[in-house]
Structure 1
Amino acid sequence: MKRIQFQETGRICQVPINDIFGFMYLATFIYFLPVTGIIFIYIAILKYTKRSLIIANVRQLGLEQTRYRRELRFIKRILILISIIFITGVPYLTFFLQVNIGQSPMPSYGHRISFMFLSCGQGLVMLLAIFYADDVRKSLRNILLQKLPWIRGRRIGNIIS
Protein backbone atom coordinates (compact mmCIF):
# COMPACT_ATOMS: atom_id res chain seq x y z
CA MET A 1 0.00 0.00 0.00
CA LYS A 2 1.37 3.37 -0.97
CA ARG A 3 1.74 5.58 2.06
CA ILE A 4 3.03 8.75 0.42
CA GLN A 5 0.43 10.47 -1.72
CA PHE A 6 0.22 13.67 -3.70
CA GLN A 7 -2.36 15.95 -2.15
CA GLU A 8 -3.71 18.22 -4.84
CA THR A 9 -5.25 20.78 -2.50
CA GLY A 10 -1.98 21.45 -0.72
CA ARG A 11 0.26 20.62 -3.71
CA ILE A 12 2.47 18.48 -1.51
CA CYS A 13 3.60 14.84 -1.37
CA GLN A 14 3.32 13.37 2.11
CA VAL A 15 1.72 10.74 4.27
CA PRO A 16 -1.88 11.91 4.67
CA ILE A 17 -3.12 12.71 8.14
CA ASN A 18 -6.09 10.40 7.55
CA ASP A 19 -3.70 7.42 7.33
CA ILE A 20 -3.39 6.77 11.06
CA PHE A 21 -0.76 4.01 10.83
CA GLY A 22 1.56 5.94 8.51
CA PHE A 23 1.11 9.17 10.42
CA MET A 24 1.74 7.57 13.81
CA TYR A 25 4.77 5.69 12.44
CA LEU A 26 6.34 8.89 11.19
CA ALA A 27 5.35 10.87 14.28
CA THR A 28 6.87 8.21 16.52
CA PHE A 29 10.23 7.95 14.79
CA ILE A 30 10.66 11.58 13.79
CA TYR A 31 9.19 13.38 16.78
CA PHE A 32 8.29 11.34 19.84
CA LEU A 33 11.35 9.05 20.13
CA PRO A 34 13.92 11.89 19.94
CA VAL A 35 11.95 14.06 22.37
CA THR A 36 11.48 11.12 24.74
CA GLY A 37 15.21 10.40 24.59
CA ILE A 38 16.01 14.03 25.37
CA ILE A 39 13.58 14.01 28.29
CA PHE A 40 15.11 10.83 29.77
CA ILE A 41 18.60 12.30 29.43
CA TYR A 42 17.33 15.48 31.11
CA ILE A 43 15.85 13.47 34.00
CA ALA A 44 19.12 11.54 34.44
CA ILE A 45 21.12 14.78 34.52
CA LEU A 46 18.67 16.30 36.98
CA LYS A 47 18.94 13.30 39.33
CA TYR A 48 22.73 13.38 39.09
CA THR A 49 22.78 17.11 39.84
CA LYS A 50 20.54 16.72 42.88
CA ARG A 51 22.64 13.84 44.16
CA SER A 52 25.87 15.77 43.71
CA LEU A 53 24.31 18.76 45.49
CA ILE A 54 23.72 16.62 48.58
CA ILE A 55 27.32 15.41 48.40
CA ALA A 56 28.47 19.02 47.89
CA ASN A 57 27.13 20.01 51.28
CA VAL A 58 29.53 17.57 52.87
CA ARG A 59 32.56 18.45 50.71
CA GLN A 60 34.08 21.71 49.58
CA LEU A 61 31.33 24.16 48.81
CA GLY A 62 33.25 26.59 46.58
CA LEU A 63 34.24 24.22 43.81
CA GLU A 64 31.03 22.27 43.97
CA GLN A 65 28.88 25.38 43.73
CA THR A 66 30.56 26.48 40.50
CA ARG A 67 30.07 23.01 39.06
CA TYR A 68 26.48 23.00 40.26
CA ARG A 69 25.82 26.37 38.60
CA ARG A 70 27.31 25.09 35.35
CA GLU A 71 25.12 21.98 35.47
CA LEU A 72 22.02 24.05 36.21
CA ARG A 73 22.79 26.25 33.22
CA PHE A 74 23.10 23.11 31.10
CA ILE A 75 19.76 21.79 32.38
CA LYS A 76 18.10 25.15 31.70
CA ARG A 77 19.34 25.07 28.12
CA ILE A 78 18.00 21.54 27.60
CA LEU A 79 14.65 22.57 29.03
CA ILE A 80 14.47 25.56 26.66
CA LEU A 81 15.21 23.33 23.66
CA ILE A 82 12.55 20.78 24.65
CA SER A 83 9.95 23.48 25.23
CA ILE A 84 10.64 24.99 21.79
CA ILE A 85 10.14 21.57 20.18
CA PHE A 86 6.85 21.05 22.01
CA ILE A 87 5.51 24.56 21.37
CA THR A 88 6.23 24.44 17.64
CA GLY A 89 4.53 21.03 17.39
CA VAL A 90 1.20 22.39 18.67
CA PRO A 91 -0.13 23.65 15.27
CA TYR A 92 0.54 20.27 13.65
CA LEU A 93 -1.20 18.50 16.54
CA THR A 94 -4.13 20.91 16.23
CA PHE A 95 -4.66 20.10 12.55
CA PHE A 96 -4.23 16.37 13.22
CA LEU A 97 -6.89 16.43 15.93
CA GLN A 98 -9.17 18.58 13.79
CA VAL A 99 -9.09 16.04 10.95
CA ASN A 100 -9.20 12.80 12.93
CA ILE A 101 -11.36 13.65 15.94
CA GLY A 102 -13.45 16.50 14.62
CA GLN A 103 -13.90 14.76 11.23
CA SER A 104 -13.68 18.12 9.50
CA PRO A 105 -11.77 18.52 6.24
CA MET A 106 -8.19 19.71 6.39
CA PRO A 107 -7.86 23.36 5.33
CA SER A 108 -5.81 23.77 2.17
CA TYR A 109 -3.27 25.88 4.03
CA GLY A 110 -3.11 23.66 7.12
CA HIS A 111 -0.12 21.57 6.07
CA ARG A 112 1.89 24.61 5.13
CA ILE A 113 1.22 26.37 8.41
CA SER A 114 2.04 23.32 10.50
CA PHE A 115 5.21 22.55 8.51
CA MET A 116 6.26 26.19 8.75
CA PHE A 117 6.03 26.03 12.55
CA LEU A 118 7.91 22.72 12.68
CA SER A 119 10.64 23.99 10.36
CA CYS A 120 11.05 27.26 12.23
CA GLY A 121 11.16 25.41 15.54
CA GLN A 122 13.82 23.00 14.33
CA GLY A 123 15.85 25.87 12.92
CA LEU A 124 15.55 27.79 16.18
CA VAL A 125 16.64 24.74 18.16
CA MET A 126 19.70 24.32 15.93
CA LEU A 127 20.62 28.00 16.23
CA LEU A 128 20.25 27.93 20.01
CA ALA A 129 22.30 24.75 20.26
CA ILE A 130 25.09 26.42 18.28
CA PHE A 131 24.80 29.66 20.24
CA TYR A 132 24.90 27.81 23.57
CA ALA A 133 28.39 26.52 22.77
CA ASP A 134 30.79 28.69 24.76
CA ASP A 135 33.44 28.89 22.03
CA VAL A 136 30.92 29.99 19.41
CA ARG A 137 29.46 32.62 21.74
CA LYS A 138 32.92 34.01 22.56
CA SER A 139 33.91 34.19 18.90
CA LEU A 140 30.61 35.92 18.04
CA ARG A 141 31.26 38.46 20.78
CA ASN A 142 34.80 39.08 19.50
CA ILE A 143 33.58 39.50 15.92
CA LEU A 144 30.85 41.87 17.08
CA LEU A 145 33.33 43.94 19.08
CA GLN A 146 35.71 44.11 16.11
CA LYS A 147 33.01 45.15 13.64
CA LEU A 148 31.34 47.63 15.98
CA PRO A 149 34.03 49.22 18.15
CA TRP A 150 31.66 51.85 19.52
CA ILE A 151 29.89 49.22 21.66
CA ARG A 152 33.07 48.15 23.43
CA GLY A 153 32.24 49.97 26.67
CA ARG A 154 28.55 49.14 26.64
CA ARG A 155 26.71 46.22 28.16
CA ILE A 156 25.97 44.42 24.89
CA GLY A 157 29.08 42.32 25.46
CA ASN A 158 27.46 41.02 28.64
CA ILE A 159 24.26 40.15 26.79
CA ILE A 160 26.11 37.88 24.37
CA SER A 161 28.19 36.23 27.06
Structure 2
Amino acid sequence: MDVFEILSSLLMLICSIFGTICALVFIIIIIIHHQCHTINNLLAFNCAVAGCITSITYICQSIYQLIDIGNDILCPLRGFILHTGTGLLYHSLCVIGCYRLFVTVYSTRRFLQTNNCAISMVAIQWFISCTFVVPLFITGKIQYQVNGRICGVLMEEEWSFIYLISIAFVFPLIIIVILYTKIVKYMKQNPFSIKNSTNIPSQHRRQSELRLIRRICMIITTLFILDFPKLVSFIATEILLLPSWPYMIRVDRMFITFGISTTMLVNIIITDDVRKVLTSTIMKYIVPKKRVQDINVIKMPIV
Protein backbone atom coordinates (compact mmCIF):
# COMPACT_ATOMS: atom_id res chain seq x y z
CA MET A 1 0.00 0.00 0.00
CA ASP A 2 1.26 3.47 -0.86
CA VAL A 3 0.92 6.62 1.27
CA PHE A 4 -2.35 7.75 -0.30
CA GLU A 5 -4.00 4.37 0.28
CA ILE A 6 -2.93 4.33 3.93
CA LEU A 7 -4.08 7.92 4.55
CA SER A 8 -7.41 7.36 2.79
CA SER A 9 -8.09 4.22 4.84
CA LEU A 10 -7.20 6.06 8.05
CA LEU A 11 -9.50 8.95 7.13
CA MET A 12 -12.32 6.50 6.39
CA LEU A 13 -11.70 4.82 9.74
CA ILE A 14 -11.69 8.09 11.72
CA CYS A 15 -14.81 9.43 10.01
CA SER A 16 -16.63 6.12 10.47
CA ILE A 17 -15.74 5.94 14.17
CA PHE A 18 -16.95 9.51 14.67
CA GLY A 19 -20.17 8.76 12.78
CA THR A 20 -20.75 5.62 14.84
CA ILE A 21 -20.24 7.52 18.11
CA CYS A 22 -22.69 10.26 17.08
CA ALA A 23 -25.27 7.70 15.94
CA LEU A 24 -24.93 5.63 19.13
CA VAL A 25 -25.25 8.74 21.32
CA PHE A 26 -28.45 9.66 19.48
CA ILE A 27 -29.84 6.11 19.75
CA ILE A 28 -29.06 5.80 23.48
CA ILE A 29 -30.64 9.17 24.31
CA ILE A 30 -33.82 8.29 22.41
CA ILE A 31 -34.10 4.89 24.10
CA ILE A 32 -33.42 6.09 27.66
CA HIS A 33 -35.38 9.36 27.77
CA HIS A 34 -39.11 8.85 27.34
CA GLN A 35 -39.73 12.55 26.70
CA CYS A 36 -37.92 12.06 23.38
CA HIS A 37 -40.43 9.46 22.19
CA THR A 38 -42.18 11.65 19.62
CA ILE A 39 -42.84 10.82 15.98
CA ASN A 40 -40.31 13.36 14.70
CA ASN A 41 -37.61 12.02 17.02
CA LEU A 42 -38.38 8.40 16.15
CA LEU A 43 -38.02 9.19 12.44
CA ALA A 44 -34.68 10.83 13.20
CA PHE A 45 -33.86 7.71 15.26
CA ASN A 46 -34.50 5.65 12.14
CA CYS A 47 -31.97 7.80 10.28
CA ALA A 48 -29.42 7.31 13.09
CA VAL A 49 -29.82 3.52 12.97
CA ALA A 50 -29.12 3.55 9.22
CA GLY A 51 -26.05 5.73 9.75
CA CYS A 52 -24.81 3.50 12.58
CA ILE A 53 -25.07 0.34 10.46
CA THR A 54 -23.22 1.94 7.55
CA SER A 55 -20.51 3.50 9.74
CA ILE A 56 -19.77 0.23 11.56
CA THR A 57 -19.47 -1.56 8.21
CA TYR A 58 -17.07 1.11 6.95
CA ILE A 59 -15.00 0.67 10.13
CA CYS A 60 -14.63 -3.02 9.32
CA GLN A 61 -13.85 -2.21 5.70
CA SER A 62 -11.16 0.34 6.66
CA ILE A 63 -9.49 -2.14 9.00
CA TYR A 64 -9.47 -4.79 6.28
CA GLN A 65 -7.89 -2.26 3.90
CA LEU A 66 -5.18 -1.32 6.41
CA ILE A 67 -4.23 -4.94 7.07
CA ASP A 68 -4.46 -5.58 3.30
CA ILE A 69 -7.06 -8.35 3.47
CA GLY A 70 -9.73 -6.94 1.22
CA ASN A 71 -10.74 -9.85 -0.97
CA ASP A 72 -11.92 -12.38 1.60
CA ILE A 73 -15.06 -14.47 1.73
CA LEU A 74 -17.00 -11.71 3.56
CA CYS A 75 -16.07 -8.97 1.08
CA PRO A 76 -19.26 -9.29 -1.04
CA LEU A 77 -21.34 -9.28 2.15
CA ARG A 78 -19.67 -6.06 3.33
CA GLY A 79 -20.34 -4.53 -0.08
CA PHE A 80 -23.97 -5.58 0.20
CA ILE A 81 -24.29 -3.96 3.66
CA LEU A 82 -22.52 -0.77 2.49
CA HIS A 83 -24.89 -0.32 -0.45
CA THR A 84 -27.89 -1.21 1.71
CA GLY A 85 -26.84 1.20 4.45
CA THR A 86 -26.39 4.07 2.00
CA GLY A 87 -29.85 3.39 0.64
CA LEU A 88 -31.24 3.22 4.18
CA LEU A 89 -29.83 6.66 4.94
CA TYR A 90 -31.35 8.34 1.88
CA HIS A 91 -34.63 6.46 2.15
CA SER A 92 -34.99 7.43 5.82
CA LEU A 93 -34.71 11.08 4.78
CA CYS A 94 -37.51 10.42 2.26
CA VAL A 95 -39.71 9.16 5.11
CA ILE A 96 -38.96 12.31 7.14
CA GLY A 97 -39.84 14.43 4.11
CA CYS A 98 -43.13 12.56 3.60
CA TYR A 99 -44.11 13.05 7.22
CA ARG A 100 -43.28 16.77 7.09
CA LEU A 101 -45.48 16.99 3.97
CA PHE A 102 -48.36 15.31 5.82
CA VAL A 103 -48.00 17.61 8.83
CA THR A 104 -47.67 20.83 6.82
CA VAL A 105 -49.63 20.51 3.57
CA TYR A 106 -52.17 17.85 4.59
CA SER A 107 -52.57 18.96 8.20
CA THR A 108 -56.34 18.39 8.08
CA ARG A 109 -55.90 14.67 7.34
CA ARG A 110 -55.10 13.49 10.84
CA PHE A 111 -54.73 9.82 9.93
CA LEU A 112 -51.59 10.70 7.96
CA GLN A 113 -49.98 12.06 11.15
CA THR A 114 -50.65 9.04 13.37
CA ASN A 115 -48.07 6.63 14.79
CA ASN A 116 -49.44 3.80 12.65
CA CYS A 117 -48.86 5.80 9.48
CA ALA A 118 -45.29 6.68 10.49
CA ILE A 119 -44.49 3.08 11.46
CA SER A 120 -45.94 1.82 8.17
CA MET A 121 -43.75 4.22 6.18
CA VAL A 122 -40.65 3.13 8.10
CA ALA A 123 -41.51 -0.56 7.56
CA ILE A 124 -41.95 -0.05 3.82
CA GLN A 125 -38.72 1.95 3.69
CA TRP A 126 -36.75 -0.82 5.43
CA PHE A 127 -38.22 -3.45 3.13
CA ILE A 128 -37.18 -1.51 0.02
CA SER A 129 -33.76 -0.61 1.43
CA CYS A 130 -32.96 -4.20 2.44
CA THR A 131 -34.09 -5.80 -0.82
CA PHE A 132 -33.04 -3.52 -3.68
CA VAL A 133 -29.40 -4.75 -3.52
CA VAL A 134 -30.37 -8.44 -3.29
CA PRO A 135 -30.51 -9.00 -7.10
CA LEU A 136 -27.01 -7.55 -7.48
CA PHE A 137 -25.72 -9.70 -4.61
CA ILE A 138 -27.28 -12.92 -5.92
CA THR A 139 -26.03 -12.40 -9.49
CA GLY A 140 -22.48 -11.69 -8.28
CA LYS A 141 -22.36 -8.05 -9.39
CA ILE A 142 -20.79 -7.02 -6.07
CA GLN A 143 -17.14 -7.74 -6.75
CA TYR A 144 -13.75 -6.90 -5.29
CA GLN A 145 -12.31 -3.66 -6.71
CA VAL A 146 -8.54 -3.82 -6.74
CA ASN A 147 -7.94 -0.06 -6.98
CA GLY A 148 -10.13 0.70 -4.00
CA ARG A 149 -9.51 -2.57 -2.12
CA ILE A 150 -13.24 -2.71 -1.47
CA CYS A 151 -16.22 -4.73 -2.68
CA GLY A 152 -18.96 -3.02 -4.61
CA VAL A 153 -20.69 -2.74 -7.96
CA LEU A 154 -18.14 -1.93 -10.67
CA MET A 155 -18.70 1.11 -12.89
CA GLU A 156 -17.92 -1.14 -15.84
CA GLU A 157 -21.18 -2.95 -15.06
CA GLU A 158 -23.11 -0.01 -16.50
CA TRP A 159 -26.71 -1.18 -16.04
CA SER A 160 -26.06 -2.57 -12.57
CA PHE A 161 -24.30 0.62 -11.51
CA ILE A 162 -27.07 2.83 -12.93
CA TYR A 163 -29.67 0.70 -11.14
CA LEU A 164 -27.74 0.99 -7.88
CA ILE A 165 -27.18 4.76 -7.87
CA SER A 166 -30.74 5.35 -9.11
CA ILE A 167 -32.40 3.45 -6.25
CA ALA A 168 -29.92 4.40 -3.52
CA PHE A 169 -29.15 8.01 -4.49
CA VAL A 170 -30.85 9.65 -7.48
CA PHE A 171 -34.51 8.74 -6.94
CA PRO A 172 -34.50 9.44 -3.16
CA LEU A 173 -32.81 12.79 -3.76
CA ILE A 174 -35.36 13.75 -6.43
CA ILE A 175 -38.24 12.72 -4.14
CA ILE A 176 -36.79 14.71 -1.24
CA VAL A 177 -36.34 17.83 -3.39
CA ILE A 178 -39.93 17.53 -4.71
CA LEU A 179 -41.34 17.07 -1.20
CA TYR A 180 -39.59 20.05 0.34
CA THR A 181 -40.24 22.21 -2.72
CA LYS A 182 -43.95 21.51 -2.31
CA ILE A 183 -43.76 22.28 1.42
CA VAL A 184 -41.95 25.60 0.88
CA LYS A 185 -44.36 26.53 -1.92
CA TYR A 186 -47.34 25.78 0.32
CA MET A 187 -45.91 27.87 3.15
CA LYS A 188 -45.33 30.81 0.81
CA GLN A 189 -48.89 30.57 -0.50
CA ASN A 190 -50.29 30.44 3.05
CA PRO A 191 -48.32 33.09 4.92
CA PHE A 192 -49.14 33.84 8.54
CA SER A 193 -49.36 37.29 9.98
CA ILE A 194 -47.25 37.97 13.07
CA LYS A 195 -49.67 40.75 13.99
CA ASN A 196 -52.47 38.28 14.39
CA SER A 197 -52.26 37.47 18.08
CA THR A 198 -55.17 35.01 17.99
CA ASN A 199 -53.16 32.49 15.99
CA ILE A 200 -49.97 32.31 18.03
CA PRO A 201 -49.85 28.46 18.28
CA SER A 202 -50.21 28.17 14.51
CA GLN A 203 -47.50 30.79 13.99
CA HIS A 204 -45.15 28.99 16.36
CA ARG A 205 -45.75 25.66 14.62
CA ARG A 206 -45.17 27.22 11.19
CA GLN A 207 -41.92 28.81 12.36
CA SER A 208 -40.79 25.48 13.82
CA GLU A 209 -41.61 23.70 10.57
CA LEU A 210 -39.69 26.26 8.54
CA ARG A 211 -36.70 25.92 10.86
CA LEU A 212 -36.85 22.13 10.59
CA ILE A 213 -37.03 22.30 6.79
CA ARG A 214 -33.92 24.47 6.68
CA ARG A 215 -32.06 22.01 8.88
CA ILE A 216 -33.14 19.00 6.83
CA CYS A 217 -32.01 20.82 3.69
CA MET A 218 -28.57 21.08 5.29
CA ILE A 219 -28.40 17.28 5.51
CA ILE A 220 -29.67 16.86 1.93
CA THR A 221 -27.12 19.35 0.59
CA THR A 222 -24.33 17.59 2.50
CA LEU A 223 -25.27 14.18 1.15
CA PHE A 224 -25.64 15.49 -2.41
CA ILE A 225 -22.23 17.17 -2.38
CA LEU A 226 -20.51 14.17 -0.86
CA ASP A 227 -22.02 11.66 -3.31
CA PHE A 228 -21.42 13.98 -6.25
CA PRO A 229 -17.90 12.59 -7.05
CA LYS A 230 -19.38 9.16 -7.78
CA LEU A 231 -21.80 10.64 -10.31
CA VAL A 232 -19.10 12.80 -11.92
CA SER A 233 -16.75 9.83 -12.18
CA PHE A 234 -19.42 7.69 -13.84
CA ILE A 235 -20.27 10.40 -16.38
CA ALA A 236 -16.60 11.05 -17.14
CA THR A 237 -15.62 7.41 -17.63
CA GLU A 238 -18.75 5.83 -19.10
CA ILE A 239 -20.35 8.67 -21.07
CA LEU A 240 -17.45 10.98 -21.96
CA LEU A 241 -15.11 7.94 -22.23
CA LEU A 242 -12.32 9.68 -20.32
CA PRO A 243 -9.63 7.56 -18.63
CA SER A 244 -10.54 6.69 -15.07
CA TRP A 245 -8.35 7.72 -12.13
CA PRO A 246 -7.23 4.61 -10.20
CA TYR A 247 -7.91 6.19 -6.81
CA MET A 248 -11.34 7.56 -7.67
CA ILE A 249 -13.05 4.75 -5.75
CA ARG A 250 -11.11 5.65 -2.60
CA VAL A 251 -11.90 9.33 -3.00
CA ASP A 252 -15.58 8.45 -3.38
CA ARG A 253 -15.53 6.32 -0.22
CA MET A 254 -13.74 9.07 1.73
CA PHE A 255 -16.45 11.53 0.71
CA ILE A 256 -19.19 9.07 1.68
CA THR A 257 -17.77 8.31 5.14
CA PHE A 258 -17.21 12.00 5.83
CA GLY A 259 -20.77 12.72 4.68
CA ILE A 260 -22.28 10.02 6.89
CA SER A 261 -20.37 11.24 9.97
CA THR A 262 -21.41 14.84 9.25
CA THR A 263 -25.02 13.76 8.81
CA MET A 264 -25.01 11.93 12.16
CA LEU A 265 -23.62 15.05 13.87
CA VAL A 266 -26.17 17.32 12.19
CA ASN A 267 -28.90 14.85 13.18
CA ILE A 268 -28.03 15.45 16.84
CA ILE A 269 -27.85 19.22 16.39
CA ILE A 270 -31.18 19.63 14.58
CA THR A 271 -33.15 17.32 16.91
CA ASP A 272 -34.02 19.71 19.72
CA ASP A 273 -34.94 17.14 22.38
CA VAL A 274 -31.77 15.09 21.87
CA ARG A 275 -29.59 18.18 21.76
CA LYS A 276 -31.07 19.52 25.00
CA VAL A 277 -30.59 16.19 26.80
CA LEU A 278 -27.01 15.91 25.59
CA THR A 279 -26.23 19.52 26.51
CA SER A 280 -27.74 19.17 29.99
CA THR A 281 -25.82 15.92 30.56
CA ILE A 282 -22.54 17.53 29.55
CA MET A 283 -23.20 20.62 31.68
CA LYS A 284 -24.12 18.42 34.63
CA TYR A 285 -20.61 16.97 34.77
CA ILE A 286 -18.64 20.02 33.61
CA VAL A 287 -20.26 23.00 35.38
CA PRO A 288 -20.05 21.63 38.97
CA LYS A 289 -16.35 20.87 38.56
CA LYS A 290 -15.74 24.32 37.17
CA ARG A 291 -17.60 25.91 40.10
CA VAL A 292 -15.56 23.90 42.60
CA GLN A 293 -12.38 25.03 40.92
CA ASP A 294 -13.57 28.65 41.06
CA ILE A 295 -14.43 28.32 44.78
CA ASN A 296 -11.00 26.85 45.51
CA VAL A 297 -9.36 29.75 43.71
CA ILE A 298 -11.38 32.24 45.78
CA LYS A 299 -10.49 30.46 49.03
CA MET A 300 -6.76 30.44 48.30
CA PRO A 301 -4.97 32.66 50.80
CA ILE A 302 -3.25 35.69 49.44
CA VAL A 303 0.42 35.66 50.38
- The verdict on a shared fold, with TM-score over 0.5 as the criterion, is yes
Alignment partner of 2:269 out of 131, 135, 145:
131
- Of 49-58 and 21-30, more deviation after overlay is shown by 49-58
Aligned residue among 78, 84, 88 for 2:216: 78
Look up the equivalent residue of 2:226 and give its one-letter code. T
Which ranges of structure 2 fall in alignment gaps of 5 or more residues? 1-138, 292-303
Deviations along 1:92-130, whole A, 9 cap, x unmatched?
223222312342332222101101102221232233123
**One-letter amino acid of the structure 1 residue matched with residue 176 of structure 2:** I
Q: Quick one: distance in 2 between partners of 1:24 and 1:101?
A: 12
The 8 Å contact of residues 226 and 255 in structure 2, kept in 1 or not, is answered as yes
Residue matched to 1:25 = 163
Shift of 1:79: 1.2
Identity %: 32
More RCO (CA 8 Å, sep 6+): 2
Q: Aligned-residue CA RMSD in angstroms?
A: 2.6
1:67 to 205, 221, 224: 205
With over 3 angstroms needed to count, the CA separation of the structure-2 counterparts of 1:85 and 1:59, relative to structure 1, is same
Deviation per residue, 1:70-99 (Å, 9 max, x gap): 121011012111111111112222322231
The match for 1:143 is 281
Q: 1:68 to 1:99 in 2, by over 3 A?
A: same
Answering whether residue 231 of structure 2 is matched by residue 88 of structure 1, we say: no
Q: Give 5+ residue unaligned stretches, structure 1.
A: 152-161
Query: Which secondary structure state, in structure 2, belongs to the residue aligned with residue 53 of structure 1?
Result: coil
Cα distance in 2 for partners of 1:112, 1:10 equals 5
Asked if 2 retains the 8 angstrom alpha-carbon contact of 1:6 and 1:12, the reply is: yes
Report how many residues are paired: 151
Find the aligned partners of 1:30 and 1:108 in 2 and give their Cα distance.
24
Q: Which segment is superposed worse, 44-53 or 111-120?
A: 44-53
Residues 18-39 of structure 1: CA deviation (Å, up to 9, x unaligned): 2221111000111112222222
Match of 1:106 in 2: 244
CA separation in 1, counterparts of 2:213 and 2:145?
41
1:122 maps to which of 236, 242, 260: 260
